[in-house]
Chains A and B, each alone.
Chain A
């Protein structure tokens, strides 16, 4: 079974600075998807960024980028120019790309605090 590990229960960053959230995963599959979701206090899960395992290029969405290391099974999220609105729980998630259930496997999350 696939597992996702987020080793940082909490992180903090100063406004306008850069922060990196860590995520590692375990799978025997060669093709899969990885995601970072943001969950503000409203509870609404919002997709931040996704990465297809077959793509070598790291995904980027505005101030959000990932460092995908397939051999190391590592998928970290970098937030540049942090804003107060970035404060939230961040979840790393894995999904198989084909066959069987399309369920997401989540890590336990990292609570990000942004200090003004």
Chain B
């Protein structure tokens, strides 16, 4: 079956512009996660959606970052007024229910010039 998909694969933007990154989870997966992988760093958690519960936003680095998940499926991560330090690979993952394996997408590489 289809895995987690993310678009675009690569995004180059200018400092100060807004960007939207999309994640399509595996069908039927109730949990969805966003992580950020910066050069030389591990992966850091950004935000987590589980069903209809309020999302866990504890990993968002600033109020320029936001995410939504429509209809319990597709999710969009929005970064407003991008900064050069936002350059990273943004990874999305989904899982079918609690305490289960997270399946990752191929990521979006964001470059802020």
Contacts and interface: CB of A to CB of B under 8 A. Distances in A.
Contact of B31 (A100, A102, A109): A102
A107 B48 CA distance: 19
Contact of A102 (B40, B89, B91, B95): B95
Interface string B28-64: 0001010100001111110010100000101100000
Query: Do most interface residues of chain B lie in helix, strand or loop, or is the interface mixed?
Result: strand
B2 interface: no
Interface size class of A (residues with CB under 8 A): 20 to 34
Contacts of A97: 99
23 contacts: A33-B99, A43-B91, A43-B106, A44-B106, A44-B107, A45-B91, A45-B93, A45-B104, A46-B104, A47-B101, A50-B101, A91-B43, A98-B99, A102-B48, A102-B98, A102-B99, A103-B33, A103-B45, A106-B35, A106-B42, A106-B43, A106-B44, A107-B42
Interface in A43-69: 43-47, 50
A28 interface: no
Chain B interface size range: 20 to 34
Contacts, number: 57
A78 interface: no
Contact of B50 (A37, A50, A102, A109): A102
A108 B42 contact: yes
Interface of B: 31, 33, 35, 40-45, 48, 50, 56, 58-59, 89, 91, 93, 95, 98-99, 101-102, 104-107, 109
